[in-house]
Amino acid sequence: VWFDPEAYDLYNDLTVLRDMSKHLPQGSPRGLQALRSLNGAINTLRPGDRSTYAKTKEISEDFLGVPNRDYNHTIYATGHCHIDTAWLWPYRETRRKCARSWVTQMRLAKRYPGYKFTLSQPQQLQWVKDDYPTVFEDILDSVQNGTFIPLGATWVEMDANIPDGESFCRQFLLGQKFFKDHFGRRSNIFWLPDTFGYSAQLPQICRLSGVEYFLTQKLSWNLINKFPYHSFKWIGIDGSELLTHFPPADTYVDKGDVGSVGYHMENYKQKAVSQESMMLFGHGDGGGGPEMAHLERIKRIQNTSGLPWVKIASPGDFFEALEKRKNSLPRWRGELYLELHRGTYTTHAKIKKANRDAEKLLRNLEIFATAASGSQSSPGFEYPKGELDDMWKDILLNQFHDVLPGTCIEEAANDSMNIYSKVLSEASRLENAALTHLIQDFGGKEGAGIVVNTLGWPRREVIDIPNSESSSVPHLVSTPPLGLSSLP
């Protein structure tokens, strides 16, 4: 295959002319002018006769070169490659998708100076670091020169309904730690474009994690009640505010063409108070990201009369501009409920049960391990920080928004259950080790036991203590909050 850059250049010019004549309002001056220029270009061009290329280019440039004087609205466009960590493929395939997609984007950036591309999900970055270390080094260089923009704040783009509060906090804790360790800064943008609804506790957790902004588009999928805003302030349970934006094109795989820009402007609900909005362009779900055609189209429409300004920029640039309008934006308090995918609360119930079992077990393990490692009278137990971090990363991985909700294929679901089995086994082993140390630390007569209260309030209850294989004796026991006591 021979690539003809001159012919490709003309192809993109004529595509934009065609789209403007098709998508601009019927009878609009610029739409009619686009059609006239397109007719002139087609009548001039002779396939196979390269001598007609220059004149055809001149006709298209006469139209596309007229600068934008009609709109003061700016669309901030950023390259995006949504990669589902598992969905119609297992985790192991995602490891390869990430490397292929990001290498493609680095090559594209060399061809198009000023290009900006977003990176999210530290888990995926960790996979590339492990499997393709030279590619990861190139990514670090791309972040350093401003081409790649790491953002998102969480370990994966997780389900935002089913995990408990501790898991939400760990998503941000481990995600932000990765960004800080590898890129020198935390992300101030929560990036969750494809998750099936959003808990009302997230604004508070975001702000406590250093996050100021939130982007998604998923509520555009609502079946009945269309969400009323694209730019607004999301208010959490405690009153925390998160400046939020839903791209008006209602997608995270925008084509970056005239039709999508036109829909973008027509659909944007905050035009009266905001002169900026955001576009995420590129192939996604299975990776890929933008290709040359996306950037060629945007190059031609970014400052063309009849269309809004389209500016290649980072999400941070966009939110800094929107920040100036925030006092005029509407407010939404509480949950962001998606009227679709309701089966995600029940589908693949075994995954949901394993998730909750793992969450509870790791919480108890951390309490027991903290008490055992802090013992003064019986030192020797070392807090298993490395093991706990690894197990938490496995749990957080399985909370990805197509795994925990149950919307992935069976192979991916089986992978997640294998991971849960490994976590539950290792956590139980460490829990038993910590409890054994605590029993020894409390001393007392041989065979004496302890009662541990892992809840945050004191408890006084009657429990049955086995005294043989077939019988037990009731005991009244009292324990302090997050504490323990010896059995009588």
pLDDT score of 60 more than 60: yes
The string of DSSP letters for 262-293 reads HHHHHH-TTTTT-SEEEEEESB-BBS-B--HH
* Catalytic machinery residues: 194
Find the range with the poorest average confidence among 5-9, 116-120, 233-237, 468-472: 468-472
Average pLDDT over residues 122-139: 98
pLDDT at 448: 65
Q: Are 244 and 211 in contact (CB under 8 A)?
A: no
Token duo for residue 383: 């807090």
β pairing state of 241-245 and 450-453: unpaired
Q: Are 90 and 412 in contact (CB under 8 A)?
A: yes
The pLDDT mean for the chain works out to 94
As a whole number of angstroms, the distance between CA 79 and CA 313 comes to 9
β pairing state of 213-215 and 189-191: parallel
pLDDT score of 334 more than 60: yes
pLDDT at 486: 81
- Which pLDDT tens digit goes with each residue over 158-197? 999 999 999 999 999 999 999 999 999 999 999 999 999 9
pLDDT score of 443 more than 90: no
- Which pLDDT tens digit goes with each residue over 135-168? 999 999 999 999 999 999 999 999 999 999 999 9
Residue whose structure tokens are 């493929």: 89
Residue whose structure tokens are 């998708």: 97
Residue whose structure tokens are 């903290």: 370
Token duo for residue 474: 């009731």
Strand stretches in 88-212, DSSP E: 117-119, 148-150, 189-191
Residue whose structure tokens are 């393990």: 365
pLDDT at 485: 85
- Which pLDDT tens digit goes with each residue over 62-95? 999 998 877 778 999 999 999 999 999 999 999 9
pLDDT score of 444 more than 70: no
pLDDT score of 128 more than 60: yes
The string of DSSP letters for 5-69 reads HHHHHHHHHHHHHHHHHHHSPTT-HHHHHHHHHHHHHHHH--TT-GGGHHHHHHHHHHHHTS---
As a whole number of angstroms, the distance between CA 170 and CA 356 comes to 15
Among 90, 184, 110, 101, which Cα is nearest to 135's? 101
Residue whose structure tokens are 């789209």: 19
pLDDT score of 358 more than 60: yes
pLDDT at 234: 98
Q: What CA–CA distances, in Å, run from 456 to 62, 119, 232, 367, 482?
A: 72, 39, 36, 11, 6
Model confidence, pTM: 0.93
Region for residue 370 given its phi and psi (left: phi exceeds 0; alpha: psi -120 to 50; beta: otherwise): alpha
Position 404, amino acid: L
Among 42, 44, 48, which Cα is nearest to 7's? 48
**DSSP code at position 332:** E
- The more confident residue out of 54 and 487 is 54
* Bridge partners, 475 (sequence order): 463
Q: What CA–CA distances, in Å, run from 291 to 25, 184, 204, 288?
A: 28, 29, 37, 8
Name the pLDDT band for 22 (thresholds 50, 70, 90).
Answer: very high
pLDDT score of 445 more than 70: no
pLDDT score of 1 more than 90: no
pLDDT at 10: 96
β pairing state of 231-235 and 241-245: antiparallel
Find the radius of gyration of the CA atoms of the chain. 28
Find the range with the poorest average confidence among 142-156, 357-371, 470-484: 470-484
